[in-house]
Amino acid sequence: MSITQILFWILTVAVLFSAIMVISSKNPVHSVLWLVAAFFFISGHYILLNAQFLAIVNIIVYAGAIMVLFLFVIMLMNLNKSTEPLKNRSLQIIGILSGGCLLLVLVAALRNTEISENTALVNTGDAGLIKTLGRELFTNFVVPFEISSILFLSAMVGAVVMGKKD
C-alpha cells in the first residue's frame, strides 16, 4: 500500500464526510465551512493527480472567492443560526432513498465498463502543469476563452440589474 494510496483513501473519506456534513448540518454557516473543507480535500485529490494548476484555482476561486461570497450573503441575511425548520420527514426520506438508488444504479451500471480496467495516472505527468495548460488555453482554446468573456459580461450586467436598488 503505497503512500499515494493511503493519501487517496484518507482524502476520499474526508471528502465524502465533509460533503455529507454540508447537507446534514443545520447551521448554514457550518455547511458553508464544511463545503470549503470539501473543496480543500478535492484540491488534495487534484494534487494527487498532479493537476497543480486546477488545485490552486480550485482553492483560490472556489474555496476563496465563491465560498466567501456565500458566507457574506449568509451573514448579510444573518441566517447563521439554524433558522431552517425541518422539511417534512417523508420528503426527506424519499429524497435520500432516491439519491441512494441513483448512486446504486449508476455505480452498478458503470462498474465494469469499457474503461473499467484503465487506471488514472497519479503524481506524474505534465498535463496538469500551468505551462501546458496556459499554452493550450491561449492558443487552441482561445475561442471558448473569449466566449466565456461574453458569459461574464452578461453575468455582470445581470448582477447589476438584479442587485442595484431602483
Partner 1 sequence: MKIELILIPLLPLAGFLLNGLLRNYLSKGLAGIIGSGTVLGSFILSIAAFMQVKAGNIAIVEYFDFIKTGSLHIPFAFQVDQLTAIFLLIITGVGFLIHLYSTAYMHDEKPHHFARYFAYLNLFVFSMLLLVMGANFVVMFIGWEGVGLCSYLLIGFWFKKKEYTKAATKAFVMNRIGDLAFLIALFMLINKLGSVTFTEIFTPEALSKLSGFDITMITTLLFIGATGKSAQIPLYTWLPDAMAGPTPVSALIHAATMVTAGIYMIARSNLMYSMAPGTLNCIAIIGIATALLAASIALKQNDIKKVLAYSTVSQLGYMFLALGTGAYVAAVFHVMTHAFFKALLFLGSGSVIHAMGGEQDMRKMGGLSKYMKITHITFLIGCLAIAGIPGLSGFFSKDEILAGAFGTSPVLYVLGLIGALMTAFYMFRLYATTFCGSFRGTAEQKSHLHESPAAITIPLIVLAILSVIGGYVGIPEFLVHGAHTLKDFLNPVFAQSATELEKLGHQHPSHSTEWALAGLSSLLVLIVVVLAWNRFSKKPDMDEAKGLGKLLQNKWYVDEIYDAVITKPLNRLSVFFSSVFEKNIVDGIVNGVGKLVSYGGRQLRWMQSGQTGAYILLMVLATLMVFVLQFFLRK
Partner 2 sequence: MPINYYIVLSLALFTIGVVGVLTRRNAIIVFMCVELMLNSVNLLLVAFSKMQVAKDALPVAAVDGQLFVFFIMVVAAAEVSVGLAIIVMMYRNIHSVDINFLNRLKH
Partner 3 sequence: MNALVLSAIFGVVMMFSGIFFKKKAPVKATAIVALILLLLANSMEMQGIRFFNLNVSAFLAFNDYALFFNGIAIFATLIFTLVAADDMTKVGVYFADYFALIFFILAGITITTSFTSLLTLFLGIEIISIPLYILTGSEKRSLKSNEASLKYFLMGSFSTGVLLMGIALIYGSQGTFTIDKMNFTLHPGSNLQIAGMLLLLFSMAFKASVAPFHFWTPDVYDGAPTVFTSFMATIVKVAVFAGFVRLFGGAFEKLNETWSLWVGIMIAATLFVGNITAVFQQSVKRMLAYSSISQAGFMLFAVYTMNDIAREGLLIYATAYCLATIGIFAVLAKLSDHSYEGFNGLSKHQPVLAFAGTICLLSLAGIPLTAGFLGKFYMLKSAIVGGQNVALVIFAVIMAAISSYYYFRVIQAMYFKDGPDHSVKAGALEKYTLIGICVLIVLLGVFPNVFLSWLYF
Contact 21, 30 (CB under 8 A): yes
| Shortest Å, Cβ 84 to partner 1 | 13
Regarding 73 and contact with partner 2 (CB under 8 A), the answer is: yes
The nearest distance, CB 99 to partner 1, in angstroms, is: 7
Residues 125, 119: Cα–Cα separation, whole Å: 13
Count of residues of this chain found to bind partner 3 when the rule CB under 8 A is applied: 24
CA distance 142 to 148: 10
State the minimum distance, in angstroms, from the CB of residue 151 to partner 3.
5
Q: How many whole angstroms separate alpha carbon 144 and alpha carbon 153? A: 14
Q: What span, in angstroms and rounded, lies between the C-alpha atoms of 27 and 32?
A: 9
Give which of partner 3, partner 1, partner 2, none residue 79 binds (C-beta under 5 to 8 Å, depending on kind). partner 2
| Residues engaged in binding partner 3 (CB under 8 A) | 106, 109-110, 112-116, 140, 143-144, 147-148, 150-151, 153-155, 157-158, 160-162, 166
